[in-house]
Structure 1
Amino acid sequence: MQEAIAKADTLIEAMGWIRKFRGKTTVIKLGGSVLDDENALLHILLDVIFMETVGMKPVLIHGGGKAINRALQAARIEPQFVRGRRVTDDATLEIVERVLAGELNVFLTEEIERLGGRAMNLSFSTTNVLFGKPLTLDTGEDLGHVGTVTDVDRSVIEGLLYTDQVPVIPSMCEGEGGRHLNVNADTAAMAVAQALGAEKLVFLSDVNGVRRDKDDPETIIHSLNEQEAMELIDSGVIDSGMIPKVQACLDTLGRGVKKVHIIDGRLRHSLLLEIYTSQGVGTEIYKT
């Protein structure tokens, strides 16, 4: 009986958050090690289905770097990177498109449907919603078929959300003349969140958030405003690979997104714990 009461208490705690975020859009960036962890991915997709069931409007944006690397290795193509971005020549583009906009996009959509939700994959072979231009580096180095999103077809995404479906979008965009371009998944998620004026943008990571000691998960900072985040960057508490992610979060907040979250996607039900509990499990960054 005590266990049953504890479950009821959890539902009561969640009720206030469910009411607060009902009808609100949350963009979720899925990628990295999470996509390769079958158990973690299962619980993330169940969380997404729960969110839609209780009235939130989740949108999934996914990368797929590890799956792409495996496909390149099978094709005996050596991956090339410049300043952290994948150089995408003709042969690489063909594989990126097959894996990212094809296999992974379809798999995630079908898996949501299998688990009891409703989803629609939005890609070049169905309905493309991301448009952009080739990305040029300050150094002048050529990245090939790599782009940045400049326009998002809001009407298609919002139409699916209105009919209680989860849009599933690969991090690729269409450029001038129908050219297909590979896009960084973080920046694609930011562009979609900004275009939709999302309540939340959630980055599913392989760390539990911003930490005072990057090597100690127990030092996580659960809530940060813009000024505090900048001070932590300046003081060196936030360093190396976390700096561009936090700076991207701050940039997104400046363009209409209300809150950005960084959470560990490997933690079971991390999405629900972050959104529907008072404490949360990751780092929430908000505009002052």
Structure 2
Amino acid sequence: MNFDAKGTLPAAEFPFHPDNSPSHTPRGEFSVEEAIGKANTLIEAMGWIRRFRGKTTVIKLGGSLLDDENALMHILLDVIFMESVGMKPVIVHGGGKAINRALAESGIEPNFVRGRRVTDAPTLKVVEKVLAGELNVFITDEIERLGGRAMNLSFTTTNVLFGEKLPTEEDEDLGFVGHVTRVDRSVIEGLSYTDQVPVIPSMCEGEDGQRYNVNADTAAMAVAQALGAEKLVFLSDVNGVRRDKDDPKTIIDSLSAEEARSLIKEGVINGGMIPKVEACLETLDRGVRKVHIVDGAVRHSLLLEIFTTSGVGTEIHA
């Protein structure tokens, strides 16, 4: 992204900037057919916009996407658009790759058990610095630079995630890894009602003030459940649930919870997709209406999934 001296994204790089509207475009630069196509797209989106206006959508933003500057810009533009048409987006983010880089710079070797990061005291300091500090501020600032309004919610501003140490097997100690037991809804909803996008890192604080590292998927689930969200969107590095995990063209556009459970039993859903789909099912069981798995690297994948009939990912519903 190329910002000008004022730190603003130039109009040429901002698709929703007023200077890029048809009124600023010479009439001869696009055909009537192209203009009608644009109008048809808006009409298709109108029904979805009316349906989801005023509804909360929680977006889980993963570490791999935070490393892709172009993908991140389009995701955040989508979030701004959602807020602009009356939706209430909430971002919950991780940052695994950034944490690994920071650990390497500190000479700390990362350690994982069953996919969860072992978080001792030195690692916790790095995690807090990266997640609750650098990345949380960075995402918030990017939304502001792109023309939106956002507020970072962390230990240095206002913490909204509270929890406790994650229970584990007796012979397994993950250190300061926790899970969310309470979400401060009032702060998040207050920001949404003032047209700001809450940005929340995947960390929580215990009643005794102890801070914990939290899996970003489960943190997003806790926020979606607490807010009674209409949708929870997992931005992933795959395009959704596939009948053949190695063939992107076999994506399943829509699944009921019952169908998803059957596909797990049949082995169609397998490997690393199983825990993600099971997390989606658990979220549906707790009141969230729909869960989406979307490839965040696809340009404007959020808008395409939410505001078009066919979508670009997998929607799982009750």
Question: Fold match, TM over 0.5?
Answer: yes
Distance in 2 of aligned mates of 1:139 and 1:209: 35
Q: Is the 8 A contact 2:92 2:219 kept in 1?
A: yes
Of residues 259-268 and 133-142 in structure 1, the stretch that sits farther from structure 2 once superposed is 133-142
2:90 is paired with a residue of what secondary structure? strand
1:26 is paired with a residue of what secondary structure? strand
Distance in 1 of aligned mates of 2:128 and 2:289: 32
Counterpart position of 1:41: 72
Distance in 2 of aligned mates of 1:37 and 1:223: 27
Q: Is the 8 A contact 2:63 2:98 kept in 1?
A: no
Give yes or no for the alignment of 1:56 onto 2:56.
no
Distance in 2 of aligned mates of 1:114 and 1:14: 26
Counterpart position of 2:309: 278
Distance in 2 of aligned mates of 1:140 and 1:57: 43
1:171-210 CA distances to partner (integer Å, 9 max, x unpaired)? 0000131001000000000000000000000000000000
Give yes or no for the alignment of 1:163 onto 2:194.
yes
1:237-267 CA distances to partner (integer Å, 9 max, x unpaired)? 0001000000000000000100000000000
Counterpart position of 1:260: 291
Kindly tell me the number of residue pairs found equivalent between the two proteins.
Answer: 287
1:178 is paired with a residue of what secondary structure? coil
Residue 5 of structure 1: which of 16, 36, 52 is its match? 36
Residue 144 of structure 1: which of 152, 160, 175 is its match? 175
Residue 136 of structure 1: how far off its partner (Å): 1.9
Distance in 1 of aligned mates of 2:146 and 2:63: 22
| TM-score, with length taken from structure 1 | 0.99
2:212 is paired with a residue of what secondary structure? strand
Q: Is the 8 A contact 2:63 2:93 kept in 1?
A: no
Counterpart position of 1:67: 98
Residue 118 of structure 1: which of 143, 149, 164 is its match? 149
One-letter code aligned to 1:84: G
Q: Is the 8 A contact 1:132 1:149 kept in 2?
A: yes
Q: Is the 8 A contact 1:122 1:129 kept in 2?
A: yes
Counterpart position of 1:78: 109
1:177 is paired with a residue of what secondary structure? coil
Distance in 1 of aligned mates of 2:167 and 2:186: 29
Q: Is the 8 A contact 1:25 1:58 kept in 2?
A: yes
One-letter code aligned to 2:60: K
Distance in 2 of aligned mates of 1:234 and 1:139: 30
1:221 is paired with a residue of what secondary structure? coil
Give yes or no for the alignment of 1:201 onto 2:232.
yes
Which structure exhibits the higher relative contact order, with contacts defined as CA atoms closer than 8 Å and separated by 6 or more residues? 1
Structure ID, larger Rg: 2
Counterpart position of 2:207: 176
One-letter code aligned to 1:44: I
Residue 139 of structure 1: how far off its partner (Å): 5.0
Distance in 2 of aligned mates of 1:218 and 1:32: 25
1:83-112 CA distances to partner (integer Å, 9 max, x unpaired)? 110000111000000000000000000100
Counterpart position of 1:98: 129
One-letter code aligned to 1:79: P
Extract structure 1 runs of 4+ deviating beyond 3 A: none
1:131 is paired with a residue of what secondary structure? strand
RMSD: 0.6
Q: Is the 8 A contact 1:136 1:143 kept in 2?
A: no
One-letter code aligned to 1:247: E
1:176 is paired with a residue of what secondary structure? coil
One-letter code aligned to 2:288: V
1:144-172 CA distances to partner (integer Å, 9 max, x unpaired)? 11100000000000000110100000000
1:2-32 CA distances to partner (integer Å, 9 max, x unpaired)? 1111111100000000000000000000013
